[in-house]
Structure 1
C-alpha cells in the first residue's frame, strides 16, 4: 500500500488525512497522518454535483473520466437510468418522468423519449404518478410549468402534486417558464426551480420571498442575449439575500460538456457567486465516501480553491508524486 499525508475538503471544511493507493485506486482516510509520511502536493476534493442533467439526451460514458461525482437527472425514463447507473462511478439521483398536464411541455418534443413524460389530468392521477416516482426511488418530483409552450397545471392540480410529494417526503422542483410562472410555482409549494428565472425580471420583494423557501438551479449557460442577462440579474439578487443556489447545466440541452462546464461557472461568477459560495453550489461529495470520484486541485488560497483547476485524481498521480518525494 502506498500512502501520503494529504489535505482534503470533506464537503464543508478542510481536513488533514491520509491518501492511499489500495487495489490500484486512490482512497482518502480520515486519520492523522504519521510525521514520516511524504505529503501529496495537491489538495483533494470529491467530485462536483450537477443538479440538472438529462442522461437520456447524451452518451453519459464520459462521466467516468469527468470532474462530476454526482448528478441529478431531471427527466428520463427509468429504463435509461437503470441501464447506466451500474456502469458509472458517479452517484445518480433522479426525478423520473416530467409531470405535465395533457398536451403540456415537453409531451410534443422529439427529444422526450418514451416513458419520460407523464401527463396528469387531475389530483387522483397526480397522486398515482408521484407514488410511482417515489416507489422507483426518485429523490424529487419535477413539475412542468411552461406556459410559453403549452398548457400548465391549474393551481389545484399543482398543489395536489406538492401535497402528494410531501406525503412521500420528497421535494418538488418546477420548470417555470412564461410570465408569472416562477412566482406561481413557488407560491404553490415548489421547493426549487430547475432554472434560474429567465422569462422576466423578478422584483426585489419576490426575490426575497423565493430566497426564504426555494432553491434555484443555475442553468445560466444555456441562454444568450436578453434571457441570459435577466437570469444573471435575478440570480445576483437572489444569492445576495441568502437564497440557496445549486450548480446545474441542463446537460443534454444543446452541446453541453459531459463534465464541469466552464461557461456555467463563469456565468455564476458574473452573478457575483464565487469563492466559498461557488464551492457550496457545486456540492462536492465527501472524498472519504467509498467509491467517490476524487479530484486534485492546487493548494487552496485562503481556504478556497478554483473548481476549474480541478482534475481527476489518477493512481499514477499518487505514484508519481511519491516517487518524486522519496529519495
Structure 2
C-alpha cells in the first residue's frame, strides 16, 4: 500500500510517497507519486523537546508520544547513558550542571545525586567538561543563576565556553537574575536554556541576542508577570529573526510527558506559529531508516497543528 503525501523536512514542505513496511509506514521522499491516492493529511518526523530532566519524570509515556527526541539538560550522566535508547525516542544529554561552589542547583533538593559539578577554576572546568564528553554528553549545561547563589566570574565563564569549544561540545546556559542573560551571551554563550524571564530586554538587547544566541522557550513553567515578560521577550526576539527552540523544562513541576499544549499555546501567544512553530519543534528526519512518522490527519501544510499530530499507522494508508 502506497499513497502520495506532503511532508515537512524541518524547513519546508515537500511531496513524496509513504509506503507500508514490515516495521511500519516509511517515507520514500523521491518516489514517483503519479497515479497514487493521496493521504488525507500531512506527515513529518517526531518532535524535539530541547529541555527535559528525565530523572524527574515517569518515562513510560514518552514511548507513545509525538516526541522523537529529547535533550536532557541536567542529570547524572551515568544514569542518563543507561536510559538510552528509550523506545522510539532519541535521548541526548548535557550530563551534570556546571556551577560555582555553592551555586545553583547544588543547593536544590530536586537535583539528583551526581547531577552537579562544582567548578572553582579552569582546571576543574577542563576536568568536568572532559568527563561529560567522555560520558556521551552532546551539550554542556552551565548554571548562571544570580538569584540562588554565586555565578561564574566573567573570566571563568569565558574560559568554560572556550574549553567546551575546544572539545567541540556547545554550551547551554541557565541564565537567571537581572542582567544574566545579557552577560552570558556577551561572553560567548550561543544557547539559553530558558527564554529570558528575569527582566524585559530592550529592543537593542533583543536585536543583539537574535544575532548571537538561540533560546529554548520553556514559557509554560512561568505564570503572572514572569510569564508576560518571557512571552514578550520571545515575541520581539522572533520578530528580530532570533531562533526559538521548543522546550518545556519537563520535570519542573507537573506537566504532560510528551508534547505540552500549554507550551504550544504560549509560543503561539508569542507569535511563533505555522511553519515557525514546526521549526521550533525540530522534527527528526522522516526519511531516516526506522524513523517514526507523525501524521496530521485532515491537515494541509497551512493547517498542520502539532497538537493534532499522532503516530502514523498502517491503517491510515488503507483509509
Q: Which residue of 2 aligns with 1:112?
A: 111
Give the secondary structure class of the aligned counterpart of 2:290. coil
Give the C-alpha shift of residue 301 in structure 1.
4.2
Give the C-alpha shift of residue 254 in structure 1.
0.6
Q: Greater shift after overlay, 292-301 or 53-62?
A: 292-301
Show the 5 A alignment for 1:231-270. 231-270=230-269
1:95 aligned onto 2:91: no
User: Are the aligned partners of 2:74 and 2:96 in contact in 1 as well (CA < 8 Å)?
Assistant: yes
Using the alignment, how far apart are the partners of 1:55 and 1:254 within structure 2? 13
Using the alignment, how far apart are the partners of 1:60 and 1:71 within structure 2? 11
Using the alignment, how far apart are the partners of 1:158 and 1:304 within structure 2? 44
Q: Which residue of 1 aligns with 2:280?
A: 281
TM-score, normalising length from structure 2? 0.95
Alpha-carbon spacing, 1:169–1:253, altered in 2? closer, same or farther (3 Å) = same
Q: Which residue of 2 aligns with 1:195?
A: 194
Give the C-alpha shift of residue 47 in structure 1.
0.8
Q: Which residue of 2 aligns with 1:8?
A: 7
Show the 5 A alignment for 1:169-208. 169-208=168-207
1:68 aligned onto 2:64: no
Give the C-alpha shift of residue 82 in structure 1.
2.0
Q: Greater shift after overlay, 77-86 or 125-134?
A: 77-86
Q: CA RMSD in A?
A: 1.5
Give the C-alpha shift of residue 304 in structure 1.
5.3
Q: Which residue of 2 aligns with 1:307?
A: 306
Give the C-alpha shift of residue 13 in structure 1.
2.1
Alpha-carbon spacing, 1:71–1:40, altered in 2? closer, same or farther (3 Å) = same
Q: Which runs of 4+ in 1 moved over 6 A?
A: none
Unaligned runs of 5+ in 2: none
Using the alignment, how far apart are the partners of 1:83 and 1:192 within structure 2? 26
TM-score, normalising length from structure 1? 0.93
Give the C-alpha shift of residue 303 in structure 1.
4.3
Give the secondary structure class of the aligned counterpart of 1:173. strand
Q: Which residue of 1 aligns with 2:211?
A: 212
1:85 aligned onto 2:84: yes
User: Are the aligned partners of 1:14 and 1:303 in contact in 2 as well (CA < 8 Å)?
Assistant: no
Using the alignment, how far apart are the partners of 1:161 and 1:304 within structure 2? 44
Q: Greater shift after overlay, 162-171 or 291-300?
A: 291-300
Using the alignment, how far apart are the partners of 1:213 and 1:87 within structure 2? 33
Using the alignment, how far apart are the partners of 1:80 and 1:190 within structure 2? 27
Using the alignment, how far apart are the partners of 2:233 and 2:313 within structure 1? 39
Give the C-alpha shift of residue 104 in structure 1.
0.8
Using the alignment, how far apart are the partners of 1:242 and 1:35 within structure 2? 38
Count of aligned pairs between the two proteins:
319
Q: Which residue of 1 aligns with 2:226?
A: 227
